[in-house]
Amino acid sequence: MSDHSVSNSSSPQIKRREAISSDVTLLSEIHPVLRQVYLNRGVTKHSQLDRTLKNLPNYQALSGISTAVDIILCAIQANKKILIVADFDADGATSCAIAIRGLRMLGAKHLDFVVPDRFKFGYGLTPQIVDVALEHNPDLIITVDNGISSVDGVAYAVEQGCQVVVTDHHLPPKKLPNAHAIVNPQLLGDEFPSKALAGVGVMFYVLLALRAKLNEQGAFANSKAPNLAQLLDIVALGTVADVVPMDETNRKLVHQGLLRIQASQCVPGIRALLRIAKREAQSIVASDLGFAIGPRLNAAGRLDDMSLGIQCLLTDDEQEANNIAEQLDLLNIERRSIEDDMKLDAFKILQTLKVSSNNADQWGVCLYEPQWHQGVIGILASRIKEKLNRPVIAFASASADEVKGSARSIPGLHIRDVLDDIASQHPQLLKKFGGHAMAAGMSLAAKDLDVFTEAFNSAVKKRLNNELPENVFLVDGEIPDGELNLQLAETLRQGGPWGQSFPEPVFIGTYKVKNARIVGQKHVKFELETLSNKRRIDAIYFNPEHPDSLIGLAKVKVVYQLDINTYMGRSSTQLMVRYLEKFSG
């Protein structure tokens, strides 16, 4: 590998994905390139590609859902006050928005929501946030995208006379909260086939079950039952933004949500966010939700108050939606600036610690700077993880004697399990923790940070069985030069939705470089030439580590996604470069 390689301190290996079958009769009528992509992701039957709603898993398989529905239905019919307690990320905001919209559609009159300020209260239904909730005099509290770890908060709410229904998708702790009902596909013994639902997906299922119960009772005898599919634009946004695995159930939900957005049948807030992100609604794909809309929505919870993001999704007023979208965009610009400064700090710390991706002693990386912004440490951890190919936790000060950390993991390492290991070995070390396979949060005493850093490194090493993680680019193969066209690019775009655990197709090819120039100070624009038919094709490489080093190469090996570039109303094929090196063959 050459010095012109990309994003990590050591050059990645390029490996081809292995297809689940070599049977040429499988999916035979699909374009051969897309067919290979599907086989590489374990798809062998057309039923796995069904994106309609008719075969969604039945809500009845979710344990606890019938009890939850009975409680919510009684509250609606008795005109009780229902309060939604949300999380401060995009999944929490979208979960809250569909809870409010959906419950209104199903007859609820007295609805409100509370979302914790992450800087005052932290995550979940804490006793402190219950005190805030009690100011609304709720009869029923419904948590969305949180609550499964809120043992103390749920107990306190119940003591104060509230009913509590927990809807969540995070991994449950050993001790569950004593809520009146819990709906979470991750619960031990739960038989719901999709364990990958985001918080917004869980709440959507609760609404489906509630509508079915109302229907049983004859509530829609003289009227049409509300169409809950109207909420799927918001469900799709939350599912993609939370980076949950794109299994068959989530692909259905996201695809149907995308269809609504493409047909301009989405809420004004999503339309406004698309407009400000310069995305065309009719051609939007899942990655646009993840990279253009999600970060702007998340910026409210990271820097300010997620109530702003929730209001963006709740308003039906176009002008209000536009005004809020502009505020969210400004917050996102500020977030990016803060992130850039924090990355500079992080790289200095890494140099001091002599941490790199080929360091055999460094299994898990902990970084701490007292002045770092609590709302941005998760993004920072993600960026450093991408550079080092190691699990990373970024810490910031939460108070004079406490730090908060946000962890991001690598494929094959379940970060919540690592934290469980540490909690078992050092029972007093972690004050609070929770999360997913790929992301988690925690808090601990500032004086214990060094002990935790050592424990984290050891726990990661043990979980990885003393085998350093490989730095690998998995590719789906080569596209014949003659097939690099708009038709195939569109076929691949429409073949999704792509996402976590069902990644966008990535290919490899070798090309001559006819022109290369730096654009926007840190991106590189290439004009490449195919070897077999001498066809010219554009390529763009966003944010390579050393853009100057990529100018002047004659022949390159490129790992890329086949994309469509639309400019001034004209569309052309473009390679989105993920990795590039000098060809030396």
The answer to whether residues 115 and 305 touch, using CB atoms and an 8 Å cutoff, is yes
The answer to whether residues 99 and 235 touch, using CB atoms and an 8 Å cutoff, is no
Burial of 543 (0-12, 13-18, 19+ CB in 10 A): exposed
**Residue 6: both structure tokens together:** 């990309």
Interval 310-326 mean pLDDT: 97
Strand boundaries in 488-569, DSSP class E: 507-519, 523-530, 536-541, 555-567
What is the number of other CB atoms lying within 10 angstroms of the CB of residue 250?
Answer: 27
Please report, rounded to a whole number, the percentage of residues in the chain having pLDDT higher than 70.
Answer: 97
Q: According to the model, what pLDDT value does residue 9 have?
A: 43
Q: According to the model, what pLDDT value does residue 455 have?
A: 95
- Residue 502 β-bridge partners: 499
Band (269; pLDDT cuts 50, 70, 90)? very high
Max mean pLDDT among 10-24, 233-247, 420-434 falls in 233-247
- Max alpha carbon distance in the chain (Å)? 75
Q: According to the model, what pLDDT value does residue 469 have?
A: 81
Q: According to the model, what pLDDT value does residue 582 have?
A: 85
Ranking 30-44, 85-99, 235-249, 420-434 by mean pLDDT, the lowest is 420-434
Band (549; pLDDT cuts 50, 70, 90)? confident
> Could you tell me how many residues make up the chain?
585
Q: According to the model, what pLDDT value does residue 557 have?
A: 94
Radius of gyration of the chain (CA): 24
Please list, residue by residue across 387-418, b when 16 or more beta carbons sit within 10 angstroms of its beta carbon and e when fewer do. bbbbbbbbbbbbeeeebbbbbbbbeebbbbeb
Contacts of 250 (CB under 8 A, 6+ apart): 194, 196, 197, 198, 201, 239, 244, 499
Band (6; pLDDT cuts 50, 70, 90)? very low
Q: According to the model, what pLDDT value does residue 358 have?
A: 58
Is pLDDT of 3 > 50?
no
Band (4; pLDDT cuts 50, 70, 90)? very low
Please report, rounded to a whole number, the percentage of residues in the chain having pLDDT higher than 90.
Answer: 76
Interval 120-134 mean pLDDT: 88
Interval 112-116 mean pLDDT: 93
Is pLDDT of 120 > 80?
no
Is pLDDT of 356 > 60?
no
Residues of the chain with CATH 2.40.50.460: 13-43+473-582
Cis upstream peptide for 497 (omega within 30°): yes
Is pLDDT of 357 > 60?
no
- Write down the CATH number for the domain with range 13-43+473-582: 2.40.50.460
**Residue 387: both structure tokens together:** 């550079």
Please give the mean pLDDT across all residues of the chain.
92
Q: Which CATH number fits domain 59-328: 3.40.50.620, 3.30.2310.20, 3.90.1640.30, 1.10.3720.10?
A: 3.90.1640.30
Please list, residue by residue across 265-277, b when 16 or more beta carbons sit within 10 angstroms of its beta carbon and e when fewer do. ebbbbbbbbbebb
What 3 state SS string does 77-89 have? HCCCCEEEECCCC
Interval 137-142 mean pLDDT: 98
Residues of the chain with CATH 3.10.310.30: 354-463
What is the number of other CB atoms lying within 10 angstroms of the CB of residue 372?
Answer: 22
Q: According to the model, what pLDDT value does residue 359 have?
A: 58
Q: According to the model, what pLDDT value does residue 186 have?
A: 95
Q: According to the model, what pLDDT value does residue 387 have?
A: 86
Q: According to the model, what pLDDT value does residue 585 have?
A: 66
Ranking 118-132, 137-151, 371-385, 517-531 by mean pLDDT, the lowest is 118-132
Is pLDDT of 7 > 60?
no
Residues of the chain with CATH 3.90.1640.30: 59-328
CA 290 – CA 297 distance, rounded (Å): 10
Band (2; pLDDT cuts 50, 70, 90)? very low
Q: Is the sign of the CA dihedral 217, 223, 225, 230 positive or negative?
A: negative
Q: Does CATH number 3.10.310.30 belong to domain 354-463? A: yes
Of 303, 388, 294, 306, the residue nearest 343 (C-alpha): 388
Of 262, 314, 265, 308, the residue nearest 288 (C-alpha): 262
**Residue 3: both structure tokens together:** 């010095």
The answer to whether residues 274 and 292 touch, using CB atoms and an 8 Å cutoff, is yes
369 against 5, higher pLDDT: 369
Q: According to the model, what pLDDT value does residue 355 have?
A: 63
Of 358, 584, 577, the residue nearest 475 (C-alpha): 577
